């Protein structure tokens, strides 16, 4: 009653509901039957929702307010004998369908109404020329489809915000700390160790393969290597190691297909079936081939060793991780900010500097004229 007393919608809501009952009795019966068959008992009030839908139509059709200059012409209004009532009937059916798709309850009425308004606005942008065409568009714009649209809009908005000059400057400011975090993670991977395959003559990765366990010591000063079997776990490897390589002696680390993996059966040829990393140690240099097909391990060890020897080079995997962490950090910092300015207006210099205390003005600090 209170909703009807308010103007708008006033008596227009009651008259529309009465006409809807008269001309769309089948729709009311169908909605009532479906509501009665719901197991969750989450029903919605036709009278209450109808008042809100009438108000929605008043806003959409500019019944009270003058439409803005250049606003679109709704041709479908001229192809119906009862355009307001027919559109109201469309909204009632749309609300019922959306309510069902959202699994809404009584306290979700405003949420469902907001979704319905978004659905009708999006479909009217397509400029349907008949009520039937509008219903076809609404059928295609279900609640799941609207969620996909909102996700795309959100992603586009975030992408636009992340490309502003101010955010780009913040990104570059944060990048060194994020890179340091990623490299710290890579060093932890090295400290955990990994069992690599050995490149031995007359042996293959599939048959009779030998292994050695490599790890970085806690002080990050040397790599420790220990021979182990295929079945032996890394925890059982000899912690003292039979090979110790000072980090300072490592000249370079090369990954994957770039490595010089000689073929066991033919001298002078590279083995295209072997993947891993190659360590160049000392001035000679001595080559250590660490074999594995795990690309994630190859990238982690190359990133970690490059960080230890001071080579500023990140794998593609690490670069993607840095960008992902940067985006997360930026989004967290921008949660409470809207319409970020690209630049901050700097106020003009004062006309005089009489406000500076004399004891400071008398010092030998030079003031640069601007």
Q: Could you report the per-residue pLDDT of 7-56, keeping only the tens digit for each? A: 667 778 888 888 888 888 888 888 888 877 776 667 888 888 888 999 99
Do residues 235 and 202 lie in contact, with contact meaning Cβ atoms separated by under 8 Å? no
The more confidently predicted of residues 353 and 324 is: 324
Tell me, yes or no, whether 198 lies in a domain.
Answer: yes
Q: Which of 99, 126, 157 is the last residue of a domain?
A: 157
Do residues 45 and 108 lie in contact, with contact meaning Cβ atoms separated by under 8 Å? no
Q: What is the pLDDT of residue 168?
A: 85
Task: Mark whether 128 and 74 lie in a shared domain.
Answer: yes
Average pLDDT over residues 135-161: 88
Average pLDDT over residues 110-123: 93
pTM: 0.56
Residues in CB range of 244: below 8 A, 6 or more apart: 222, 223, 224, 225
pLDDT(370) > 50: no
- 40-68 exposure pattern, b = at least 16 Cβ within 10 A, e = fewer: eeeebebeebbbbbbbbbbeeeeeeeeee
Do residues 85 and 16 lie in contact, with contact meaning Cβ atoms separated by under 8 Å? yes
Q: What is the pLDDT of residue 265?
A: 44
Please report, for the domain that includes residue 196, its CATH number.
Answer: 2.30.29.30
What are 13's two structure tokens? 């809501």
Tell me, yes or no, whether 353 lies in a domain.
Answer: no
The region, left, alpha or beta by phi > 0 then psi within -120 to 50, assigned to residue 200 is beta
- Give Cα 177 distance to the centre of its chain: 21
What residue numbers bound the domain in which 281 lies?
178-322
Which range is most confident: 47-51, 103-107, 132-136, 158-162? 132-136
Assign 316 a pLDDT band (cuts: 50, 70, 90): very high
Task: Mark whether 144 and 186 lie in a shared domain.
Answer: no
Task: Mark whether 272 and 222 lie in a shared domain.
Answer: yes
pLDDT(209) > 80: no
- Give Cα 328 distance to the centre of its chain: 8
Q: Is the peptide bond before 123 cis (omega within 30 degrees of 0)?
A: no
Q: What is the pLDDT of residue 323?
A: 92
Task: Mark whether 182 and 151 lie in a shared domain.
Answer: no
What total of structural domains would you count in the chain?
2
Tell me, yes or no, whether 30 lies in a domain.
Answer: yes
What are 356's two structure tokens? 């500076």
φ and ψ of 348, to 5 deg: -70, 160
Q: Which of 306, 322, 338 is the last residue of a domain?
A: 322
Q: How many residues does the chain have?
A: 370
Tell me, yes or no, whether 72 lies in a domain.
Answer: yes
φ and ψ of 189, to 5 deg: -60, -40
**Helix, strand, coil % over all residues of the chain, rounded to 5:** 50, 10, 35
CA distance linking residue 29 with residue 92, whole number of Å:
13
CA distance linking residue 156 with residue 216, whole number of Å:
43
Task: Output the average pLDDT for the chain.
Answer: 81
- What are the Cα distances from residue 141, in Å, to 92, 110, 122, 220? 15, 19, 9, 58
Task: Mark whether 6 and 149 lie in a shared domain.
Answer: yes
Task: Mark whether 146 and 214 lie in a shared domain.
Answer: no
Q: What is the pLDDT of residue 356?
A: 81
Average pLDDT over residues 97-126: 90
The more confidently predicted of residues 75 and 336 is: 75
- The pLDDT tens digits for 72-89 are 677 888 888 888 999 999
The more confidently predicted of residues 331 and 238 is: 331
CA distance linking residue 43 with residue 32, whole number of Å:
9
The region, left, alpha or beta by phi > 0 then psi within -120 to 50, assigned to residue 282 is left
pLDDT(237) > 60: no
pLDDT(154) > 70: yes
Average pLDDT over residues 280-296: 87
Q: What is the pLDDT of residue 241?
A: 55
CA distance linking residue 273 with residue 257, whole number of Å:
9
Task: Mark whether 113 and 183 lie in a shared domain.
Answer: no
Task: Mark whether 99 and 198 lie in a shared domain.
Answer: no
What are 121's two structure tokens? 């606005």
Average pLDDT over residues 101-123: 91
Average pLDDT over residues 198-217: 72
pLDDT(318) > 80: yes
Tell me, yes or no, whether 190 lies in a domain.
Answer: yes
Task: Mark whether 91 and 59 lie in a shared domain.
Answer: yes
CA distance linking residue 123 with residue 76, whole number of Å:
13
Sheet strands (E) in the chain: 194-197, 211-216, 222-228, 243-246, 250-255, 276-281, 286-291
Q: What is the pLDDT of residue 322?
A: 94
φ and ψ of 216, to 5 deg: -95, 135
Task: Mark whether 149 and 258 lie in a shared domain.
Answer: no
CA distance linking residue 109 with residue 49, whole number of Å:
8
């Amino acid at each position: 009653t209170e909703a009807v007393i308010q103007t708008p919608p006033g008596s227009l809501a009651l008259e529309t509901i009465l006409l809807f009952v008269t001309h769309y009795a089948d729709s009311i019966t169908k909605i009532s039957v479906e509501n009665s068959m719901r197991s969750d008992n989450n029903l919605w009030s036709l009278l209450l929702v109808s008042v809100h839908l009438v108000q929605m139509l008043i806003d959409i059709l500019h019944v009270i307010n003058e439409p803005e200059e250049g606003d679109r012409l709704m041709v479908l209004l001229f192809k119906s004998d009862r355009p307001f009532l027919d559109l109201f009937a469309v909204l009632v059916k749309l609300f019922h369908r959306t309510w069902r798709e959202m699994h809404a309850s009584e306290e979700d009425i405003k949420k469902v109404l907001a979704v319905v308004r978004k659905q009708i606005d999006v479909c009217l942008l397509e400029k349907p020329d008949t009520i039937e065409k509008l219903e076809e568009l609404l059928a295609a714009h279900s609640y799941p489809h609207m969620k996909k649209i909102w996700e795309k809009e959100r992603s586009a908005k975030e992408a636009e915000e992340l490309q502003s000059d101010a955010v780009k400057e913040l990104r570059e400011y944060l990048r060194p700390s994020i890179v340091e975090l990623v490299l710290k993670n890579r060093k932890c991977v090295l400290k955990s160790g990994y069992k690599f395959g050995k490149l031995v003559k007359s042996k293959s990765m599939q048959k009779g393969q030998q292994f050695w366990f490599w790890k970085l010591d806690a002080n990050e000063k040397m790599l420790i290597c220990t021979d182990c079997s295929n079945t032996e776990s890394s925890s059982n490897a000899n912690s003292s190691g039979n090979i110790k390589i000072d980090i300072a002696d490592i000249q370079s680390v090369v990954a994957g297909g770039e490595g010089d993996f000689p073929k066991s059966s033919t001298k002078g040829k590279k083995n295209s079936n072997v993947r891993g990393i190659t360590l160049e140690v000392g001035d000679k240099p001595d080559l250590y081939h660490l074999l594995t097909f795990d690309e994630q391990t190859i990238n982690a060890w190359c990133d970690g060793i490059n960080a230890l020897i001071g080579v500023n080079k990140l794998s593609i995997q690490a670069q993607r991780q840095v960008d992902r962490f940067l985006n997360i950090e930026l989004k967290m910092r921008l949660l409470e900010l809207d319409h970020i300015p690209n630049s901050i207006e700097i106020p003009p210099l004062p006309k005089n500097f009489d406000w500076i205390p004399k004891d400071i003005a008398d010092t030998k600090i030079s003031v640069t004229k601007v």
